[in-house]
Amino acid sequence: MHKDIATPVRTKKILEKYGFSFKKSLGQNFLIDTNILRNIVEYAGLTGESGAIEVGPGIGALTEQLAKVCKKVVAFEIDQRLLPILDDTLSPYPNTKIIHQDVLKANVKDVIKEEFTEIEDIMVVANLPYYVTTPIIMKLLEEQLPIRGIVCMLQKEVADRISAKPGTKEYGSLSIAIQYYTEAETVMIVPKTVFMPQPNVDSAVIKLVKRKEPLFPVKDENFFFTVTRGSFIQRRKTIINNLMSALPNGKEKKELILSALSEVGIESNRRGESLSIEEFAKLSDALYPYFHETTV
C-alpha cells in the first residue's frame, strides 16, 4: 500500500521537494483530507469497470483515490509545473493518464473515444478550480458527452444556485440550465480546513446525474436558454419587462410576448424566479414562432 497523497504531511513534502508555489489565478486549493476524497469517489458510484475524467488533478490527491477504484482515470491539467510532480506521485497507478490542456479548450469527446474504449460507465469527478466552475460544468453538459454524470467540489454558493428550486432566491438561469440536463443534488458541505491553502469561501460537493431525456424537451434549446437567461436579467422585474428587454425587438413585440404568456397561462406580472422549468419550456415554445418567423 502506498501512503496517501492527501495528508497535510505528505502534501507539504511533495510541494517542498518540487519547490511548488500555488497559483491563486488557477484556483489551486489542494485537498488534504483522504476521508473527504473517499466520500467524493463513493458518491460517483464507480466500479472496477468504470472510467473517470478529472479536471485539474493538482498533485494527484483525487486522481489517486479514483485510480484505486476504477479502471482508468484521465485528467486534464493546465499547469505545466504539475506534470513532473504527477509523474512522480502517480507512478504507482499505471491506470492514470494526464493530459496537459485547458479543459475548456479540450475536445473531451475525442479523448473519451480514444481513452475509454471498452469502458461504458464514465463519470467526471473533480475538485474544480473555482474561477471557472460554471463554464466547465456547462461545457461538459452542452457537449453531450457519453458520461453518466458529474460529481464535483465547488463553491457552496454556486452549489446552492445549481440545485435551487423555483421560488427561492438562489433559483435562476443556472439552476434551470443544469437541471434541464441533470438531476442535481448537493451531497456534502465541506469545511475550508480540508484544503491547502484554504479558500476564502465555503465549499460543497454536488452530484449531477444526466437525464436520459431533457426534463421538458423544447423546440429549440438555444432559444429556451435565451428566454430563461433573459427572464432573470433583473430579478426584481416582471417577466414581461425582462423579456421585452432581452428578446430581439422585444419592445415592438410586446403584444406577441403577452399573447404567448397568456397562451401558456402565465401571468405577465410574475417574476422569473416563480416559474418552474416546465413553465419556461412551454413559454419558450410559445414564443418561438414569433422570434423565428421568416421575414417576407
29 binds ligand SAM (CB under 6 A): yes
Q: Measured from the CB of residue 85, what is the shortest distance to ligand SAM in angstroms?
A: 10
57 binds ligand SAM (CB under 6 A): yes
Specify the residue, 68 or 237, whose C-beta has the smaller distance to ligand SAM.
68
129 binds ligand SAM (CB under 6 A): yes
62 binds ligand SAM (CB under 6 A): yes
Q: Measured from the CB of residue 83, what is the shortest distance to ligand SAM in angstroms?
A: 11
- Separation of alpha carbons 149 and 151, rounded Å: 7
Closest CA to 240 of 226, 223, 256: 256
Specify the residue, 26 or 119, whose C-beta has the smaller distance to ligand SAM.
26
Among 15, 26, 119, 187, binds ligand SAM (CB under 6 A): 26
Q: Output phi, psi for 266, to 5 deg.
A: -110, 120
Q: Measured from the CB of residue 31, what is the shortest distance to ligand SAM in angstroms?
A: 4
Specify the residue, 195 or 224, whose C-beta has the smaller distance to ligand SAM.
195
The interface with ligand SAM within residues 231-290 (CB under 6 A) comprises none
Question: Applying CB under 6 A, what is the total number of residues that bind ligand SAM?
Answer: 23
The interface with ligand SAM within residues 90-109 (CB under 6 A) comprises 102-104
77 binds ligand SAM (CB under 6 A): yes
Among 52, 66, 90, 132, binds ligand SAM (CB under 6 A): 132
* Angle made by CA atoms 162, 238, 275, in degrees to the nearest 5: 40
Q: What SS3 string covers the chain? A: CCCCCCCHHHHHHHHHHHCCCCCHHHCCCEECCHHHHHHHHHHCCCCCCCEEEEECCCCCHHHHHHHHHCCEEEEEECCHHHHHHHHHHCCCCCCEEEEECCHHHCCHHHHHHHHCCCCCCEEEEEECCHHHHHHHHHHHHHCCCCCCEEEEEEEHHHHHHHCCCCCCCCCCHHHHHHHHHEEEEEEEEECHHHEECCCCCCEEEEEEEECCCCCCCCCCHHHHHHHHHHHCCCCCCCHHHHHHHHCCCCCCCHHHHHHHHHHCCCCCCCCHHHCCHHHHHHHHHHHHHHHCCCCC
67 binds ligand SAM (CB under 6 A): no
Specify the residue, 52 or 261, whose C-beta has the smaller distance to ligand SAM.
52
Among 10, 20, 30, 285, binds ligand SAM (CB under 6 A): 30
Q: Measured from the CB of residue 195, what is the shortest distance to ligand SAM in angstroms?
A: 8
163 binds ligand SAM (CB under 6 A): no
Residue nearest to ligand SAM (CB): 56
Residues of this chain that interact with ligand SAM (CB under 6 A) are 26-31, 55-58, 61-62, 76-79, 82, 102-104, 127, 129, 132
